[in-house]
Structure 1
Amino acid sequence: METAWIGDFELVSVVERIFRSPVQATAVAVVTPEREMTARVGSDHHSTFELGSISKALTGMLYRDVVERGLASPTMVLRELLPLDGDVGLVNLESLATHRSGLPSLPPGMQPLRRTLNFWIRGENPYGHSLADLLRQTRTVRVGTPRPRYSNLGFQLLGHAVAKAAGNSYAQLLQDVLGPEFSAPAHVQDLGPADLTGLDRFGRPMRAWVGEAIAPAGGIRATIDTMRGFLRSLLDGTPRGMSALDPVADFTPRVGIGAGWITLEHHGRNITWHNGSTGGFSSWIGLDRAAGTGVVVLAAVHRSVDRQGFRCLEEFAFPAR
């Protein structure tokens, strides 16, 4: 792999300024009305990155697509699609999509403290379980007051529920709606030589975050070329489930949320975006839809790339600022 940035000259000159050195395996894509650019270091066009919580934004699009096809409705509750009773079974799909379901971030039955300790000490995947395990862990969850509260559990359930409504697995629904280039591996054995190994902030290799249960909330993988094409389609307005990007509720003051996608004002511009983080990866996707410009940053290291993503979008969406 290359140890210096390579790619389109103009983008390389920008990322060399805004990324600190040394840089781990990283790839950046920019799409403007005039062109598409990529820049890479420590990776190639075939390298596959974990997207982390950008998966939630994709799941939001799957949800909207299933609703728009009449296979489910926003008011449909979980027990109509998954074997869940009690209060959890009465949570509706729209509340899950806007993080207003009252569900916690993780189910207590998952033993998050033990899993978090194993993650920090041994680099283990804290989410490596099946859908059956997730449903078993969820049945005892207490539903709180519906209010804006970021929930990994909520998006796990949303993704698997809409897949059930479509008569499919989540991984297959993802590829049917958004393209076969996206993958959601359920097992480590499903990974190949192109799947990068991520590092924690201290440079330790981390185990892959794979698993059937986590896929809708943080288990999707893609290459930078796939994400560049996805960006172009978003800016063109062509993918199924595009309405997921449009805010329908407040998430925090001055921050809106659609189905997973976040919208905020940044230097006077409305930016639609999401970020992601796993044990060994960080990611960011953002669009200035009015300017027809978008940016994706994928990094094989657990270190936020939000600042670099916003900076890069500033450079290309409103360079005169």
Structure 2
Amino acid sequence: MAIAVASPQRVFVATAGTEVKDTFEIGSVSKALTGMLYSDALQRGVVSPKTTLGDLLPLNGFGPVAAVPLGSLAVHGSGLPRLAPGMPVLRRSLAFSIRGENPYGETLAELLEQTRDVRVGSTRPRYSNLGFQLLGHATASADGRKYGRLLREVFGPGYWTPSRQDDLDDADLRGTSRLGRLVQPWVGEALAPAGGIRANIGTIGDLLRSILDHTAPGVTALEPVADFSSRVRIGAAWITMPYRSRTITWHNGATGGFSSWIGIDREARIGVAVLSARHAAVDRPGFRLLEELVASGSAVLD
């Protein structure tokens, strides 16, 4: 496990059973970074909320998915299902449950083919991994890049998106299930924008600090622009909601062998990240640590 706490001026990190340089799968915290890449592209005029997937990805003849606008994807309001349809996904999910295999691994071309006949439902809020996979790849395409390259060019070399297990090295932690069983890494080109990013705790701590001092690219992604559920608002992936007497902006993540949480009290200007190489939710300790730091007046960060 590794933890980072940050203010606009500094970052502190702590690790247990690992080193600061070791990378974790950050799961759906990847969506928070994708939201920031999208917001950065908006600010640079590369895309607009009305830009469609068909404008940026090779989706000619693919039906209604080509007409989905990026702005709706960013707030989980596109009407796309949680996952790409098809039995292969279900079979791989079963293989993960029984043998700990990677349920993903598609290339971008394979992901796009899975969307050929996808049905677009109502635009009510509906959490969609598929939506953020497509948003990230479309945003990268608008810049003439692959997603992993755009991620590193915008945020720096501390992030990476392995496509194969053979890409991993000794600094890339192997995760375990809730019961402590080693599981395969979740890798794959298609997965990257929604759940396939790896980073170490120092990199995530620096992200927190740059968000708090407003130098992070695409920091407007944290601004809530739509309702997500009762008392919960959403920006570009980032969730904003009341917690105790505070307002917290956050995202969590999980893969087969990892769990993650990142949260910010923007008024108090304090952020916390918790990364774990085990599939067991870390939301509660993340919220609790952030609450305790705010209650202490952030003296530990002065």
Normalised by the shorter chain, which TM-score bucket?
over 0.9
TM-score (norm 2): 0.96
Which one of 85, 91, 112 corresponds to residue 114 of structure 1?
91
Q: Is the 8 A contact 2:107 2:188 kept in 1?
A: yes
Q: CA separation in 2, counterparts of 1:110 and 1:281? A: 25
Name structure 1 gaps, 5 residues minimum.
Answer: 1-25
What is the deviation of 1:34?
Answer: 6.3
Residues 160-219 of structure 1: CA deviation (Å, up to 9, x unaligned) = 001000000000000111111111111111111000000001110011111100000000
Task: Establish whether residue 279 from structure 1 lines up as the match of residue 241 from structure 2.
Answer: no
1:162 match: secondary structure: helix
Q: Is the 8 A contact 2:25 2:197 kept in 1?
A: yes
Task: Establish whether residue 192 from structure 1 lines up as the match of residue 169 from structure 2.
Answer: yes
Q: CA separation in 2, counterparts of 1:109 and 1:279? A: 21
Aligned length: 295
1:294 match: secondary structure: strand
Q: Is the 8 A contact 2:51 2:69 kept in 1?
A: yes
Name structure 2 gaps, 5 residues minimum.
Answer: 298-302
The amino acid across from 1:286 in the alignment is: G
What corresponds to 1:311 in structure 2? 288
What corresponds to 1:66 in structure 2? 41
Q: Is the 8 A contact 2:10 2:209 kept in 1?
A: no
Counterpart mapping for 1:108-257 below 5 A: 108-109=85-86, 111-257=88-234
The amino acid across from 1:70 in the alignment is: G
Which one of 240, 249, 269 corresponds to residue 292 of structure 1?
269
1:111 match: secondary structure: helix
Q: Give the 3 Å change call, closer, same or farther, for CA 177–110 of structure 1 in structure 2.
A: farther
Q: CA separation in 2, counterparts of 1:158 and 1:284? A: 21
Which one of 17, 22, 25 corresponds to residue 47 of structure 1?
22
Q: CA separation in 1, counterparts of 2:10 and 2:210? A: 13
Moved more, 178-187 or 213-222: 178-187
Q: Give the 3 Å change call, closer, same or farther, for CA 33–145 of structure 1 in structure 2.
A: closer
Q: CA separation in 2, counterparts of 1:139 and 1:208? A: 27
1:204 match: secondary structure: coil
What is the deviation of 1:107?
Answer: 1.4
2:227 match: secondary structure: strand
**Percent identity between the aligned chains?**
60
What corresponds to 2:11 in structure 1? 36
Q: Is the 8 A contact 2:8 2:213 kept in 1?
A: no
What corresponds to 2:300 in structure 1? none
The amino acid across from 1:260 in the alignment is: A
Q: CA separation in 1, counterparts of 2:253 and 2:76? A: 16
Please provide the CA RMSD for this pair: 1.1
